[in-house]
Each structure stands twice: as structure tokens, then as C-alpha cells.
A and B are shown apart, each in its own frame.
Chain A
Amino acid sequence: MNRTRAFLKKTAWALFTIIFVIILNFFLFRVLPGDPARAGIRDPRLKKEAIEMLRVRFGLDKPVINCFESLNPIQVGSCAVNPFDTQFFIYVRNLVQGELGISYHTNRPVTDILAERLWNTVLLIGAGQILSIIFGVALGIFAAWKARTSIDYLAVGSSLVAWSLPTFWLGIILLFWGSAHGFPLAGKATPGMSSMPLLQQWGDIARHMFLPTLTYTIVYMGEYTLIMRSSLMDVLSEDYILTAKAKGLNAFQILKDHALKNAMLPLVTVIAINLGFTVAGAIQIEAVFSWPGLGSAIYEAVVRRDFPVLQGAFLLIAVAVILANLIADLTYNFLDPRVQTE
């Protein structure tokens, strides 16, 4: 009962936050200076009629929002217009129908662009995340177990270095190294591969993924190692660990039955939030390795002032992060009995 209520409450808050993001996301791009119709095509020779056509094409000729005369005395927005024929209403209606508008630059629906990029990003960053979690947590446990020995110092030192390496720099270095060892340098697949058998296609993608995934894993593994180590060392200094020792549990039993479950708690939050940001991609890595993911899509959209794509990407990232947080909250509830009763 209590659990269900907590679940509903947290879900309601997540929904509320998403609605807030939707509204904010709309106005964020409307308060930018400059004419959005000219943002996409920056040719000064563009004729007035052509610009007008562009406005109509992207719905920019419509008023942004009606002013709700009776509600706001300072009269923001256009008054005396049909509230259902404003950009805001159309934006919301499209969202409900699962549409994010049309890219200024490519003229394709934003949903199509994001969907294809999203898959690439999840493939690359997801693999990197999973690998860095597995290796980072394992190394963190090992370092905490061997605390204050040279193994521990080596693990902590290298993790700190790895975590503070600039991603793009490490990427470029690995790119140099990889080029000498026959790894593909850019993109997701070798051109012409789509006519090959499926297994060979996958092998090709895997080879393309190797260097960017390695870069990502090295950098983020450091983070997980450090968090896991300090969390586990905290737990290992607790009295109930000493109690367990006094009861006759051996080192492995203590780690398995008492320490790890408690030490994983802070990590759950970090993992969930990082998984949320997976969607955002890693702009630097995707740029260095020309990986056609969301990160590079955002980068290109910024350069081209392709507002609909940016708007869609922002919404996607926000929703992913909010959902990841919600999942972290609920997992925490499940893992830590102390949270449930509160």
C-alpha cells in the first residue's frame, strides 16, 4: 500500500517535470534573437516571397501564443487570435501525436532523424556504459579490498588520471594508435557493406565501434572505480562488518552478504543518471570518430541553427534523464528497506 502510493507520487512528479520541460523547451527557442526563418538559410539574396514561403512551410507565420486577455494584464503574446491556431498549441498537438516538427536544414521529420541517430548512440554509448560499469565496479571492489596497498594506489591513481583525461584528446590518441593497427577511423560502417551478409555487417560495425567504445570505457571506468571504492571502504569500516567478523564469517562471506549490498546503493543513483545521459551521447567522442549519433546530430544542429532538431533532441534527453531518475528512485526503494517506511 505504502509502496504503491510512493510509486504513484514519484511517477506523478516525473510527469509534472516532463510537462514543465515541454513548455520550457518551446519558449527557449522562441526567445532566441534573430529570425528563425532566416536561421536555416543564411543567403542574403533570398527573396521576400521565398522567405514568406519558408515561414508558411514551418508554421512561423502563425502567432507564437495567444495572450489570454483576461488572464494576463501585461498582454504578452498576440491578442484576438484563435488560441488553437498558435504555434504553441500546434507544438503541443504535434507532440501528442508524436511529431516533433520538420528540420529546417534537411526538410525531413525530426522524429525520423532522431530515431536513426538515437539507435546509433544507444549502441555505442550503451556498450561503453556497460563495459565501464562492469570493469569499474570490479576494479573498485578490488581496490577497496586491497585498500592501502600498492595495488590500491595504482588503481586509484590510474582511475583519477583516466577520469580527468579530456575525452577528445584520448580519442585522438587512440585514433592515431588505431590507424596503425588497421581499425576503421570514422563512421559506423564501411560504405557498401549493406550488400554483405548480416554477420559480416555486424562484424564491420563492431570494428568501427571498438575505438570510440574503448575511449568511453577508459574515461568512465575511472568514475565508477572511485565511487565504488570509496563507498565500499565506508561500508567496510562499519561496526556491522566487525560484528560479522566476530561472528566468524570469512572475508568472502562478509563482502558478499554484508558489504556489497550496502555499498552498491550510492552507485545505483550514479548508474541510473549516467544511463539517462546515454541518450545525449558523448558529443566529443562522436565528433572525433564521426559517429552518426545524437551527439553529433546536436552539434550539427547547433552549427546550422536547426531549431526543430535541437528542440526535439533536448526533449528526448530531458525525458530520458527524468525517467532514469525515476527508475533510480524506485530501485533504491526496492534495495534499501530504510527508504520504504519514510
Chain B
Amino acid sequence: MSTDNFLELRGLKKYFDVGRPSLFSRKSRDLHAVDGVTFTLRRSEVIALVGESGCGKSTLALLLMGLEDPTEGTVTYEGRDITHLDDRQRKDLRRKIQMVFQDPYESLNPTQTIEEIVTEPLVVHGFANNADREQRVKKAMEDSGLKPAEVYLHRYPHELSGGQRQRVVIAAALVLEPEIILADEPVSMLDVSIRAEIINLLAELRITRQIAVIFITHDLGSVGFFADRVAVMYLGRIVEIGTMLEVLEKPQHPYTKALISVIPVPNPRLRRERIILQGETPNPIDIPTGCRFHPRCPVALATCKASDPPLVTLSKTHQASCLLLVQ
């Protein structure tokens, strides 16, 4: 079992055609949702993808799930190119990569019972007649913290709390025994007290079931608990990637610094100066020239407008793209 090249993304791009800007324009414009993303995921590793809304993290998740077709770039899984697959090949792969969506109030069909929801993936993938089906469903539910499973089997989603619903979503993902779980903001719709429980659950699964987790979030504060590595995205690109400690303790990109400076610290003696970014995230249709962060960057130089900085390797595991690091 090689630890490298488990899941590998190379220069992944996704442009959406948003039509012509006005009736008289010839050319239609593209929205650059994901604009060249490269990283690798190792077996049973947790990687956190951090970025503000609109930076392309969710599109990236859809690309990985094969729910959107990438414009450019490749995704390889265990050395096999899975960028463009037909439905049958994709279906086999779906068993390996499962997804947990953001809003547990929306991602469960209101007319199905919990049992139907958790059993369905097994039926779809042809395990319907296996004798251990019931066993698998119960195990997935109890592993997701729905104990005892019998209590929940015949309930409907609306009878459960948000946290319990998210556990159902996770159970429905676990039942196929996947190798990767893609969690798209799995806790942002939940109460703060329940967030830690769900994050702990994902952290446990990674130990007990060797599942790799891609944890998409806009909240850097919640990734410190269990991520091995952190990738910070800005306008469709990774601007900094490194181990959790490298990124959180020695951030190099000004955007990462700003994100970290606004993580709330409960102790008032430890308050530090916050870097508040000016302005809105630029429109991903009109990407700024040069470094795409320069209009909001507190330390931007004149040259930032002109040249797009490459990812600079700072250590074996740590990379960031900023012109200040090049010099």
C-alpha cells in the first residue's frame, strides 16, 4: 500500500460559462470557480481546505465527486486517471469516495425514514440481498454516534436534531465503507456545541476506519483540532498549503495571516491585533491581474499588480504563493 499518490489533483480547473455580459458583446464570459488546484491526499490523512465563500471550495468538492466535469487538469486515484469517467466506472468509484454535505436539513429526503436513507446506498451498489445488510446499516449508524440504532431506524429526518441529522448523513456515507470522505462545511449549519462532536466523530473515523477526510470549511478555527494539513484557497487557487502547525503557527501568505488573526481567542489577555481585509472578494469573472490577492493585500507592492507569484517551497511540506517570499 503506497502512501503517496492516493488521491492526486493536478492543475484542476473549472470554468462556468456565465453568458455574454451584454446583448451586444460577442464573447461570453467565464466564471473561474476553480483555477488550477494541485495537491495530493495520502491514505487516512485529514486535509482541511479553507477559504471564504465563493473561493471555489465547494466546486472543487463537486469536481472530486464527479458531479461536475473539470475544464482542465486531472484527478488520479491510486494511480488511475479518474478525471473523466463514464457512469458505470464512476459508480464503482463512488463507493470509495463519499460526500457529506453542508446542510443536514436539506440533504436528507424528508419522505424517507432513517433506515431507508442509510440502506439506500447498499441497494444502489448491489448489496441489497446480502445477509449482513442490516448489520452493516446498524454498524454504520452506531459508528456515527446514533446509538442504539433501533431507536432511530423508523424515524423521519424532521424528528431529529441538526446534529443527529448530520450523523445520519455520515452514517449513509459510512455504510459503503469508503476510503475518502469529502465533508463540505459539515458543521457550519450546526450549533457550536455540536460542532465539536461532529468533528471528533470524523477524527475518530479516520483512526478506526483509516478513512481520509477532505474537510472543507471557511473557519480556520475549527480545523486545528484534527487536520494533518491545511490548504488555504483564494479565488479558485491554493495560496498556501502546509502541515497544520506550519500554517497555523508560521503563516507566510498575507491572506492566511489575516484569516488566522481573526480566529476568536477566549482569553482577553491573549488578544492580538486583527488584520481586517478591506473590500469584497473580487468577482471570479474578472480576476485581478498579477497576484489575485493584491487589491486587498495589506502589504502589496507595486509589482504585485503585474506578476502572478508561483507557489514557493518553504519546507518539504510548506508552500505559499506570494511575491514577498520570492525575494
Measuring CB to CB, which residues of chain A are less than 8 angstroms from any residue of chain B?
Answer: 238-240, 242-250, 253, 257-258, 261-262, 335-338, 341
Contact = CB atoms under 8 A, between A and B. Distances in A.
Interface in B56-71: 65, 67
Contacts of A337: 110-111, 156, 158
A247 B158 contact: no
Contact of B109 (A248, A253, A262): A262
B101 A243 contact: yes
Interface residues of B, number: 28
Given A337-B156, A337-B158, A240 B106 contact: yes
Give the 6 A-B residue pairs with the shortest CB-CB distance, closest first.
Answer: A239-B106, A239-B107, A248-B94, A337-B156, A246-B99, A240-B109
B156 A247 contact: no
A296 B235 CA distance: 67
A255 to B, nearest CB: 13
B124 A248 contact: yes
B228 interface: no
Contact of A246 (B67, B102, B156): B67
A336 B156 CA distance: 10
A249 B94 CA distance: 10
Contacts of A239: 101-103, 106-107
A77 B173 CA distance: 73
A243 B98 CA distance: 9
B30 interface: no
Contact of B65 (A238, A246, A250): A246
Contact of B110 (A245, A247, A262): A262
Given A246-B65, A248-B125, A341 B158 contact: yes
B286 interface: no
A248 B103 contact: no
B106 A238 contact: yes
B106 A338 contact: no
A247 to B, nearest CB: 5
B13 to A, nearest CB: 21
Contacts of A247: 94, 98, 120-121, 124, 172, 176
A243 B103 CA distance: 11
16 contacts: A239-B101, A240-B106, A240-B108, A242-B67, A242-B107, A243-B108, A243-B172, A244-B120, A246-B99, A247-B120, A247-B176, A248-B95, A257-B120, A262-B109, A335-B111, A338-B110
B91 A248 contact: yes
B280 interface: no
A246 B98 contact: yes
A149 to B, nearest CB: 16
Given A244-B120, A248-B90, A341-B158, 4 more contacts: A245-B67, A246-B65, A249-B124, A253-B124
B59 to A, nearest CB: 13
A249 B65 CA distance: 13
Contacts of B99: 243, 246
Contacts of A338: 110, 156, 158
B191 interface: no
B15 to A, nearest CB: 19
A336 B98 contact: no
A336 B110 contact: yes
Nearest to B120: A247
A249 to B, nearest CB: 5
Nearest to A250: B87
A224 B245 CA distance: 59
A258 B109 contact: yes
B320 interface: no
Contacts of A244: 109, 120
B273 interface: no
Interface in B138-166: 156, 158-159
A240 B91 contact: no
A243 B124 contact: no
Contacts of A249: 120, 124
Contacts of B46: none
Contacts of A257: 120
B223 interface: no
Given A239-B103, A338-B158, A341-B158, A246 B111 contact: no
Nearest to A251: B87
Nearest to B93: A248
A180 to B, nearest CB: 46
A251 to B, nearest CB: 9
B279 to A, nearest CB: 31
A242 to B, nearest CB: 7
Nearest to A259: B109
A131 B102 CA distance: 42
A85 to B, nearest CB: 57
Nearest to B104: A239
Which of A245, A337, A341 has most chain B Cβ within 10 Å? Answer: A337
Contact of B94 (A246, A258, A262): A246
B12 interface: no
Contacts of A336: 110-111
B111 A262 contact: yes
A333 to B, nearest CB: 13
Nearest to A247: B121
